[in-house]
Structure 1
């Protein structure tokens, strides 16, 4: 599943625009009370809503041969997030991936991730052009298993990895994942930045074409 567009609410659209333009160096189109951001193959549309609840989580895929260079690059621009003993993390063997986290706009938890199952190595130093796509979107839903079942059975999007709990379900593949969690769950590796149900719309290619509900506020649109 390739995620082509994500629409979400933010408390401060101007702050989000400034972050993506100045910190990540990606293309930004500003409009009154909204911003459209181009991150590789994905367009991120952030609409201002001062009452928006919760904190977003997005993961950005980077070339599989550039993890160390990506870390050096982002350390010069943003604050890394980690645990007491680590600021980079090897995912479970089923994911075959490695990631790091950093503070984004509006208390968001952003992630740079290499996915070794993808053939996406590039040459040269790490630059903003190596931010290839948004490959994970966090979605909060009060009841996770039915949302996962809708995605698996109706949208024909497979479960991913080895997590199948009632409060956390990754659905998709190495190209693109929805991370479906219960409201109030902290986004790793933080303890105070949490998922909450909020309007989020994801457009993707892969799976059965149609529109599918993601809890009370979210939706997935699968293109033909």
Structure 2
């Protein structure tokens, strides 16, 4: 399972475009009056202001080379501030053999760079935006987590390690082949390294299998396979 494209809503389109293009150095893949798209390795995110309600924000994570965490950290610190938790500006997930850092964009999106030490390919090139490998985590906040989990399982998207899904915790939903996950949760959970609380906002996710996932502006969840 790989995330090909994600559409996220925003009421700060111009601020985001400046941040990602001018401050971080991303190239715009496409642009309209109400949107722009940028690439995160093999994945893409489109920020879209059409029909936006409120002030949407999301959490997403990008894979970086397994051997470049410290280099990536220094690169990010030259561009923007790192988020902290309990005085620390990084976290070591020892059970996952992974290290992460976090920063926030002008819309309040919590962006994570994660080096999966046993899984992400290393690089011998200096760290840059070209070093980002893919989107490996995308938040999926829904009103009825257990019902949505059942719908995901029908498309072979299951909890990490195929463990039982708990109604009130964060579940990492994937296909057990790639280390790519939908972070399934209900409203009210605080995102790590942030004071942001998980909230249902509209989004679209396209997976490489042809599966399309949607949360609409009425907080309704839908999943379908366009390849069948």
TM-score by length of 2: 0.86
Paired position in structure 1 for 2:184 = 180
Residue of structure 2 aligned with 1:82, choices 84, 95, 98: 84
Report the 3-state secondary structure (helix = DSSP H, G, I; strand = E; otherwise coil) of the residue aligned with 1:107. Answer: coil
Structure 2 gaps, min length 5: none
Residue of structure 2 aligned with 1:189, choices 186, 193, 202: 193
Residue 8 of structure 1, CA deviation:
1.4
Report the 3-state secondary structure (helix = DSSP H, G, I; strand = E; otherwise coil) of the residue aligned with 1:81. Answer: coil
Report the 3-state secondary structure (helix = DSSP H, G, I; strand = E; otherwise coil) of the residue aligned with 1:76. Answer: helix
1:13 and 1:66, CA in 2 relative to 1: closer, same or farther beyond 3 A?
A: same
Structure 1 distance, partners of 2:100, 2:226, is: 29
Structure 1 gaps, min length 5: none
Report the 3-state secondary structure (helix = DSSP H, G, I; strand = E; otherwise coil) of the residue aligned with 1:113. Answer: strand
Residue of structure 2 aligned with 1:205, choices 197, 203, 208: 208
Range with bigger deviation, 80-89 or 51-60: 51-60
Residue 85 of structure 1, CA deviation:
2.9
Paired position in structure 1 for 2:113 = 112
Residue 87 of structure 1, CA deviation:
1.2
Paired position in structure 2 for 1:16 = 16
Paired position in structure 2 for 1:40 = 41
Range with bigger deviation, 84-93 or 66-75: 84-93
1:197 and 1:84, CA in 2 relative to 1: closer, same or farther beyond 3 A?
A: same
Alignment of 1:67-146 (within 5 A): 67-93=69-95, 95-146=96-147
Range with bigger deviation, 160-169 or 101-110: 160-169
Residue 214 of structure 1, CA deviation:
5.6
| Contact 1:204–1:223 (Cα < 8 Å) also in 2 | no
Paired position in structure 1 for 2:64 = 62
Residue 140 of structure 1, CA deviation:
0.9
Alignment of 1:141-160 (within 5 A): 141-152=142-153, 154-160=154-160
TM-score by length of 1: 0.87
Cα shift readout 1:107-153 (whole Å, capped 9, x = no counterpart) = 1110000123424111121111011111111111112122122212x
Residue 195 of structure 1, CA deviation:
2.1
Cα shift readout 1:6-58 (whole Å, capped 9, x = no counterpart) = 01101111111111112332221321021111111111111115523442111
Report the 3-state secondary structure (helix = DSSP H, G, I; strand = E; otherwise coil) of the residue aligned with 1:80. Answer: coil
